[in-house]
Amino acid sequence: MYNVSEQFAEINKAGYANAIRLASLSLENAERLAKLNLQAAKSALEQGVEAANTVAGIKDVQEFVAVRAKLTEAGVQSALGYSRGVYQIASETQADISALAEEAWAAYTKGVAAWVEKAAKDAPAGSDVAVTALKSSMAATTAAFDQFSKATKQVVNFADASVRAATANAANAAKATTSPKGRRAA
């Protein structure tokens, strides 16, 4: 005789383990983001002090224009670096959580499939139609999840490529705008 309560206990244990792993991943990545924010704040303070000292020593308009361009480029580069860091943390977190979800789903479907097989063997005579419907439902659910997972990966890859291209374009535009060659003569 198959013990259903054991099966549910195993599902609960797996759910609990996955919840702990998810909480751990969340805390690790929150810590990474907090460190990045602290580094960005320190860097902004240092750049602000340096900029104030530089501006205080300006003696003519030409020097002011050169310093302004230098400070603008440094600010843009800092912002791009920060956004890259945030994006990297977010994309790695998303990948970790997706892997956890896929692993959990695979274990769940394996467990449910084993339960369905065991239940089918122990099912009373004449319940073939119900067992077949249950197996078909499981197969359809698994196939739908697989398709959803593939589509999600494609969207994530497209978004990643788009963000990387946009970041590169922004960096190039910033360099062109702040460089002496990129500015028009007044």
**pLDDT tens-place values along the chain, 186 residues long:** 456 688 778 878 888 999 999 999 999 999 999 999 999 999 999 999 999 999 999 888 999 999 998 998 899 889 989 999 999 999 899 889 989 988 888 888 888 778 778 877 877 888 888 878 888 888 888 888 888 888 888 887 887 788 778 777 777 776 776 665 555 443
pLDDT at res. 186 = 39
CA 38, CA 64: separation in Å to the nearest integer?
A: 30
Domain count, the chain: 1
Structural domain contains residue 184 = no
Nearest to 82 by CA among 46, 45, 44: 44
Structural domain contains residue 85 = yes
Structural domain contains residue 26 = yes
Structural domain contains residue 186 = no
Structural domain contains residue 10 = yes
What is the torsion angle, in degrees rounded to the nearest 10, for the CA atoms of residue 94, residue 98, residue 100 and residue 102?
Answer: 180
Structural domain contains residue 119 = yes
CA 160, CA 88: separation in Å to the nearest integer?
A: 10
Q: What is the DSSP letter of 184?
A: P
Per the structure, the complete domain to which residue 130 belongs is given by 4-178
Do 172 and 77 meet the contact criterion of CB atoms below 8 Å apart? no
Tokens of 109: 């479907």
Do 175 and 75 meet the contact criterion of CB atoms below 8 Å apart? no
Does the reported pTM lie above 0.75? Answer: no
pLDDT at res. 121 = 81
Structural domain contains residue 185 = no
CA 157, CA 154: separation in Å to the nearest integer?
A: 5
Structural domain contains residue 183 = no
Per the listing, tokens 């078909």 go with: 136
